[in-house]
A and B are shown apart, each in its own frame.
Chain A
Amino acid sequence: MDLLPDRLAWYVAGPLLGLLVVGLFLVANQPLGASGAYVQTMKAARRDTDTVGWRVWYFGGIFVGGALATALGTGIDARSGYDAMTSLWPTPVVALIVLGGAVTMGYGARMAGGCTSGHGICGTAQRSPASWVTTATFMATAVAVTAVLRLVTGGDL
């Protein structure tokens, strides 16, 4: 289907995300964040008794909402992903790189108490100094590491 534009403009998507943050506060008095949903999903899988159930539903919802938007827009397309990397290296190598990055990211998110959504949007919107510091730190680090990757790969990445 082609009901959505190929890419929703930032000036629509950004304010919409902002309203979702406010909305979840107004309904449940809770911050909107994704890494917390991972943590609770992990706890649910371990059958921990103190699992926050709605965050598991939230985790599943992200997946379903993403599938819906893709189906209405560009269409769901089975592929490997990471085209920019798979054109440079064999897929198993790319998988190892992505795995290493993701483990580091998960560890860091848990240590910092949030990720791009929890600290980057929701925490900054609550005017939490810790969130502003965390966000500035991961933004600056990500830009610097990307620049290093670009140098190391001779501009290919």
Chain B
Amino acid sequence: MNRRLNIVGGLFGAAFGFVLAAAQLHEYDTIHRMLRFDEPDVFFLMGSAIATSLPLLWLLERRKARTLYGGQLALSRSKPERHHLVGGALFGMGWAVAGTCPAPALVMLSSGAALAVVAIVGLFIGLHLRDRHAIRMVVGDGEHREIGPVLESATP
């Protein structure tokens, strides 16, 4: 079970990295041009990703779809709190300065750009610092939901 899930994780990661690289999202210039409003492509890209997945997930949720390894589809929704605003603002600042975000930084490195190492190390440092300072964990929204019980209860 764990082994199968690992392979699934690796494959989805590879597909994700492949699309990011093919769309040049790992290039500082691409992100910078978007944030300067020189070119709308990345906004459209994010918008069309949401426009594709949101209705499909909605429909699957309504139909109580069963997932392959995780039991009944469980989407997670949470109320906005202060840490979303502060964390989001810090993230946006860093994103604008470094011109990359967590997944594209990995792709930047695998495309041959050496300075991506600095971005990746910096991300690890930042995540680690927050872990040390955090009063409580953020569970339930975004992607850090794996701390929750979903997977443990979902073994077929």
Contacts and interface: CB of A to CB of B under 8 A. Distances in A.
B102 A104 contact: no
Contact of B123 (A94, A102, A122, A133): A102
Contact of A25 (B50, B73, B98): B73
B116 A127 contact: no
Contact of B125 (A26, A61, A63, A106): A106
Interface string A1-45: 000111111110111111111111111111111111111101000
Contact of B141 (A56, A64, A131): A131
A114 B143 contact: yes
B137 to A, nearest CB: 9
A129 B77 contact: yes
Contacts, number: 536
A130 B78 CA distance: 6
Interface in A103-136: 103-136
Contacts of A88: none
B78 A129 contact: yes
Nearest to B69: A28
Interface SS, B side: helix
Interface string B47-84: 11111111011101000010111111111111111011
Instruction: Report the contact-size class of chain A (Cβ under 8 Å from the partner).
Output: 35 or more
Contact of B98 (A11, A56, A102): A102
Contact of B122 (A28, A73, A100, A136): A100
A100 to B, nearest CB: 7
Interface of B: 2, 5-26, 28-29, 32, 35-37, 41-42, 44-54, 56-58, 60, 65, 67-81, 83-103, 105-116, 118-131, 134, 138-146, 150-151, 154
Given A62-B106, A70-B110, A127-B58, 6 more contacts: A21-B49, A25-B67, A67-B17, A67-B21, A82-B113, A145-B92
